[in-house]
Amino acid sequence: MDDPTLKCSEVTKAYGGLVALDRGDLEVHAGEIFGIIGPNGAGKTTLFDVISGVSTTSSGTLVFEGRDITRLPASRIATSGLQRTFQTPVTFPDLSVRDNVLVGGYFGGNNSVAHDSELRTEKIEEVLGLCGLEDVGSKIAGQLPVIGRKQLMIATALVSDPRLLMLDEPMGGLNAEERQFILDLLRDLNSSGMTLLIIEHVMSALLSIADKLLILDYGRVIFEGRAKEALEDAKVVQAYLGVEAESLRN
């Protein structure tokens, strides 16, 4: 098997005496859709934070495409081809939808987009269309509904052509129709060659697209493997899925 696109080895994050992430290992290979699940407080977003440089690991190593990114700041990691979204949609609420994506074009690490105004305009319109925002490009971002803000955050990440996109609960708070839109978008991104790392609580949706799952509980990895195998793992069922496991098997 090829070397992993992202490899986390013995990654630990402690806040004083609280260990939020305890010696976590993770390998994501190019072209995969890799899901991360676990109870609230299990360490999922903490893992995203240390991978993306939002916070620094207490110990352990992080390697992206063969390069050690363990101590790099978030700005350097973002320009290396790795982008993320957040559980709560982050936008500039007083700017237009298009200008929010423009900011991503300037600072997201794609030099050709940042320095070529014609290419930047083309790219912005491309990702607006891809994310279903082509008709609201001039709308003020703060006026968007939840689904619109999630679409916008994804668009802002995509304008830099990341090779690995990390999404923190992209379907949280959405209705069935909105979740389906996001699922279709994620499938399209993956089909184009993009590797996806996804935190999600909507298990039925995640299982429909994920190749592999990593499951955290109290900061520790209790499962890593093929998505369907998680439904048969006793520790996973006890820690997280409970009675839902039976319905997800069918």
- pLDDT tens figures, 58-72: 999 999 999 999 999
In order, the DSSP letters of 147-169 are HHHHHHHHHHHHTT--SEEEEES
Does the pLDDT value for residue 115 go beyond 80?
no
Q: Of 36-40, 86-90, 99-103, 165-169, which has the strongest mean pLDDT?
A: 165-169
Which SS3 state, helix, strand or coil, does residue 63 take?
strand
Measure the CA–CA gap between 131 and 189, rounded to whole angstroms: 10
Query: For residue 96, what pLDDT is reported?
Result: 97
> Percentage of residues in the chain with pLDDT exceeding 70?
92
The pairing of strands 6-15 and 195-199 is unpaired
Query: For residue 99, what pLDDT is reported?
Result: 92
Query: For residue 139, what pLDDT is reported?
Result: 97
Q: What is the residue type of 230?
A: A
Measure the CA–CA gap between 18 and 58, rounded to whole angstroms: 12
- For the segment 22-46, the average pLDDT, to the nearest whole number, is 94
Per-residue pLDDT band at 21 (split at 50, 70, 90): very high
Does the pLDDT value for residue 243 go beyond 60?
no
Query: For residue 111, what pLDDT is reported?
Result: 67
- Smallest CA-to-CA distance from 35 within 218, 209, 248 is with 209
For the chain, give the mean pLDDT. 90
Please give the backbone phi and psi of residue 136, each rounded to the nearest 5 degrees, phi first: -125, 20
Measure the CA–CA gap between 217 and 22, rounded to whole angstroms: 10
Query: For residue 117, what pLDDT is reported?
Result: 76
Query: For residue 200, what pLDDT is reported?
Result: 92
Query: For residue 66, what pLDDT is reported?
Result: 96
- For the segment 13-31, the average pLDDT, to the nearest whole number, is 94
Query: For residue 249, what pLDDT is reported?
Result: 59
- Smallest CA-to-CA distance from 185 within 139, 6, 145, 174 is with 174
- Smallest CA-to-CA distance from 185 within 144, 102, 194, 92 is with 194
User: Using one digit for the tens of pLDDT, what is the confidence trace for 157-172?
Assistant: 999 889 999 999 999 9
Helical (H) or strand (E) element with 10 = strand 6-15
Query: For residue 192, what pLDDT is reported?
Result: 95
Query: For residue 3, what pLDDT is reported?
Result: 87
- For the segment 77-90, the average pLDDT, to the nearest whole number, is 91
**Whether this model's pTM surpasses 0.85:** yes
Measure the CA–CA gap between 20 and 47, rounded to whole angstroms: 9
Cβ-based burial of 42 (10 A; exposed 0-12, middle 13-18, buried ≥19)? buried
